[in-house]
Amino acid sequence: MFVVKWVVRHQDENPVEVEDSVLTNLDEIVASCKERLYGVRLRFTTHPPDGFIVCDENGKELRRWFGPVAPHV
């Protein structure tokens, strides 16, 4: 089992959302999360995640990915 933590850059100790993954292949989880990031950001408009961390069932970090930093307007 894998856990996905949706996080804001430099605030990964306080995830926006944590979910269990139904997928069992680490590469597939990462690819799926990259595709889903935009939709997850739309659900959390006040504090949207800009990346995710994939952990195993023991909480050990396996993969981390962050999108490009959005410019401040």
Average pLDDT of every residue of the chain: 93
pLDDT digit string, tens, across residues 24-54: 999 999 999 999 999 999 999 899 999 999 9
Q: What is the pLDDT of residue 70?
A: 61
Contact (CB, 8 A) for 61 and 55 = yes
8 A C-beta contact, residue 52 and residue 43: no
pLDDT at 71 over 70: no
At residue 72, does pLDDT exceed 70?
A: no
Structure tokens at 58: 């023991």
Of 33, 31, 25, the C-alpha closest to 6 is: 33
- pTM for this entry: 0.90
